[in-house]
Amino acid sequence: MTTDHHHHHRPNDRPSNPNETLPSSTGGITPATQRNSKTTPTYGSTSDGGNDKNEVDQPCSPTYTLDGGTETPLVTSPDASVVAIHGSVMTSNQFPFPIPPGVGGRGGKYGKNTMSMDDWAKIAGDITSRKGSVTVSTQGQGQSTIEEEGRGTESRKNNGEAAHKEKGEKKKKTRTTKNGRIIAIDFDDVCSENMATIVKQHNLRYGTDLTLDDLQTYVFWQNRGFGTPAEVARKVQALNNLLPLTTPIPGFVAGLKTLHELGHPIHIVTSRPAKDEQGLKDWLSDQGITIGHEPKDVIVQAHFTGSYGDVNKPIEPRGDDDEFERELNERLKELWKDGVGKGKGGLAKLKILRNINASLFVDDHHGNLEPIVTADPPIPCLLFGEYGWNRSRSGITSPVEMMDYNERMSSGLPLPFQEIQFGREQNIHRVKDWEELVQWIREWDEEEEEQEDKSG
């Protein structure tokens, strides 16, 4: 996703963890319409300076395991055939031969006449100019025969290479990329501008001046302006039902339709709860995207894991009991650590990916991808967007990561930073927007076709 502002690194703001989304449900608000703009709106920017001087190492990444296997469907494409036609003709003065007008100066539209040696020599000369060296010989009874002279080993080799090249070119022209490999895609911040909407509504309701760049982690209480875990849980209730107000990611509609036209079955796999299903379908329908099994349907099915229900359960408004509030925050932090820190969201998505036999998964949150790309066997993944929360790998296991934003600032500690490793060996690549996503998949398809050609 592109935004109207550039992301500037601040040492105190580093991504750490996922909270896939604040839960939402459908409501009576008029749905957002699709925007043509390629940028995400920003909302008045200020940020705390912070006093982050001490670097803290990121803890080692946890190991994820999940029994199961996956098979990548074989990819088939129609092959063009190259047909070579070879023939020889003979005639004699005793056997008249039907000839077209203009040959030998005789015959009508379908006239029959005998052909002289001069006539055959003329035809042979035409063939020579097209195919190479030929000779015309007379073999008994006045018969004329056209014989192709031997061209040698090198000539036959060249002809073979040319034929192979011609076959490859025809095959390339007639090939389709409808290979049927299943692609699974996250919803929030890949299809919809979820975080930007949360920031905007938070500013309107609580009088803050946050921007999208303030979200340096998916764990809201690690970011500036969101408060303690208990305060975040209360805000979840107040900022519920935002999907109808949420705008689409630029390019996602055209991108999804292109992948559909390429023949890829597309599934949505989201950490939203199942209660959001109808609202999500309605939102997609407003963008011109339908779910189903008809040819016109771009998405086959939407899957909901509800991974973060435990940390977003309703809680009572804050009272005067400070000790109770402190204990509540500690319990919520442990829930976050047990769920998010152990890759609960990613493991839930991995289970669905196995069930639908997905060959590729796209998500904006690196913490969700770690269990998937390190599984056995792994599933290749694309990390979508250049967001604050996916600039480095996520974690919620170290003491610093267990602090909320204000606690870290008072201690002068930044979030740990560990660079994400991309590449074929890591099974993960970054795409900054839908244009790059579609181009990456086109090249991915081409690689599969080339492998098919080699094996075929």
Other Cβ atoms less than 10 A from the Cβ of 9: the count is 11
Question: Which is nearest to 197 in space by CA: 245, 241, 234, 231?
Answer: 245
Predicted local distance difference test score (pLDDT) of residue 230:
94
DSSP state of 40: B
Predicted local distance difference test score (pLDDT) of residue 288:
97
What span, in angstroms and rounded, lies between the C-alpha atoms of 208 and 223?
Answer: 13
What residue type is 454 in one-letter code? K
Element of type H or E holding 333: helix 322-339
Predicted local distance difference test score (pLDDT) of residue 310:
66
What residue type is 224 in one-letter code? R
Ordered mean pLDDT values, 10 residues apiece, the chain (456 residues): 39 40 38 41 37 41 42 37 32 40 41 48 48 38 41 53 53 53 98 97 96 92 95 90 96 97 97 94 97 96 86 78 92 85 87 97 95 96 96 85 95 91 96 98 92 77
What span, in angstroms and rounded, lies between the C-alpha atoms of 74 and 54?
Answer: 52
Q: DSSP per residue over 135-173, as a string?
A: EEEE-STT-EEEEEPP-HHHHHHHHHHHHHHHHHHHHHH
Instruction: Return phi, psi of residue 429, to 5°.
Output: -135, 150
The CA R_g of the chain, rounded to the nearest whole Å, is 34
Contact (Cβ atoms closer than 8 angstroms) between residue 210 and residue 202? yes
Instruction: Return phi, psi of residue 381, to 5°.
Output: -135, 150
In DSSP terms, 192 is beta-bridged to: 188, 248
What span, in angstroms and rounded, lies between the C-alpha atoms of 285 and 279?
Answer: 10
Contact (Cβ atoms closer than 8 angstroms) between residue 168 and residue 184? no
Predicted local distance difference test score (pLDDT) of residue 454:
81
DSSP state of 214: G
The alpha carbon torsion through 258, 260, 261, 264 (nearest 10 deg) reads: 110
Predicted local distance difference test score (pLDDT) of residue 160:
58
What span, in angstroms and rounded, lies between the C-alpha atoms of 174 and 171?
Answer: 5
Predicted local distance difference test score (pLDDT) of residue 151:
46
What span, in angstroms and rounded, lies between the C-alpha atoms of 123 and 290?
Answer: 63
SS3 content of the chain, % helix, strand, coil (to 5): 35, 10, 55
